[in-house]
Amino acid sequence: MQNGSRLILDLGSHSAKIYRHDSSVNLLGVVTWELLELSENWEVLERTIRTLLGFRIPSDETIHAVGTEAMRRFPMLAARVAEICRYFGAEYRTLSQADEASLIYRAIQEEGEFSQLDILNVGGGSIQIYSPGGKPSTLLRFGISDLIGRFKLNSDPSARRTEECVAYVKGELPSTLSRFAYTGGELTYLRAFGVPLHDGKCAAKDFLDFADAIAKMPLERLVGQSPYDPKWMKGAVASNCIVRAALEKSLSNDFKPTDFNIAHGWVKVL
């Protein structure tokens, strides 16, 4: 591993994040760019990357960038992202789903509290589920952005098909799913809304009450309460549906929210 600090650009399908890694991994910024919702109208690319790299960069700091499902689906998009990253001096790589699952495992493998949990890593266009003990991962080719469009989850609350969404996701989850952790900023999200946590876990009943309340909120109210950038909350209803489906499938009484992301695993392979 190289010495010194570095920046990591996590260029996901729903949002882009920047982390700084020195002695630890710290989130510096989030921009929700909704790549899969843009119908290939990707002018947002350079503006978003420039915004994220607007943080002061020490002269000795390296920049690593990784892309996920949106870049896997659209090779022309991946090529453009790689070009922009090179312009800003960043090394770029498109990750496979297996890569993502492996990085999530690397992120949490030294955390004893996760050793007996399935790990759900949910993005805009894909889901990876890593089982305890390094068993084969479940790789699903849909994510938050896909569910938003398919089940009208950002429509007027009365038009949202949340129950259909939960049933669909539940049917796609593996029958082996057991108690689980849910990654990608979930801990900060639940804390921001005051959802009770006990020993780092969220009780199923508390979460379901919270998810019901979120599903009834109009979109303009949701985006006004974001713990990250405002548009991040446009994925909240879909994300909550995934957690609901996982709770039902696993028959768990609780789950563990975490802010771990693939960036925390990526630093271990640099």
Domains of the chain by residue range:
6-97+262-266, 113-257
The predicted structure's pLDDT at residue 134: 65
Backbone angles phi and psi of 61, in degrees to 5: -95, 130
The predicted structure's pLDDT at residue 61: 81
The predicted structure's pLDDT at residue 59: 60
Assigned architecture for domain 113-257: 2-Layer Sandwich (3.30)
Q: Which amino acid is located at 240 in the chain?
A: N
Helix, strand or coil, per DSSP, at residue 3: coil
> CA-to-CA distance for 111 and 270, rounded, in angstroms?
20
CB within 8 Å of 11: residues ≥ 6 apart: 49, 65, 66, 67, 68, 71, 81
The predicted structure's pLDDT at residue 1: 41
Helix, strand or coil, per DSSP, at residue 11: strand
Q: Are 84 and 49 in contact (CB under 8 A)?
A: yes
Burial class (CB in 10 A: 0-12, 13-18, 19+), 24: exposed
Q: What is the DSSP string of 35-52?
A: GGGTTT--THHHHHHHHH
Closest CA to 180 of 234, 247, 242: 247
Q: Are 18 and 28 in contact (CB under 8 A)?
A: yes
> CA-to-CA distance for 62 and 64, rounded, in angstroms?
7
The predicted structure's pLDDT at residue 19: 93
The predicted structure's pLDDT at residue 202: 98
Q: What is the CATH number of domain 6-97+262-266?
A: 3.30.420.40
Same fold, 6-97+262-266 and 113-257: yes
The predicted structure's pLDDT at residue 37: 82
The predicted structure's pLDDT at residue 86: 92
Query: What sign does the CA torsion over 95, 98, 103, 104 have?
Result: positive
The predicted structure's pLDDT at residue 22: 87
Q: How far apart are the first and last CA of the chain?
A: 5
Q: Are 104 and 166 in contact (CB under 8 A)?
A: no
Closest CA to 35 of 150, 124, 165: 124
The predicted structure's pLDDT at residue 178: 94
Can you say how many angstroms the Cα of residue 50 is from the centroid of all Cα atoms in its chain? Answer: 21
Q: Which residues of the chain have pLDDT under 70?
A: 1-4, 39, 55-60, 134-136
Query: What sign does the CA torsion over 230, 195, 130, 185 have?
Result: positive
Can you tell me which residue has the tokens 């894909």? 126
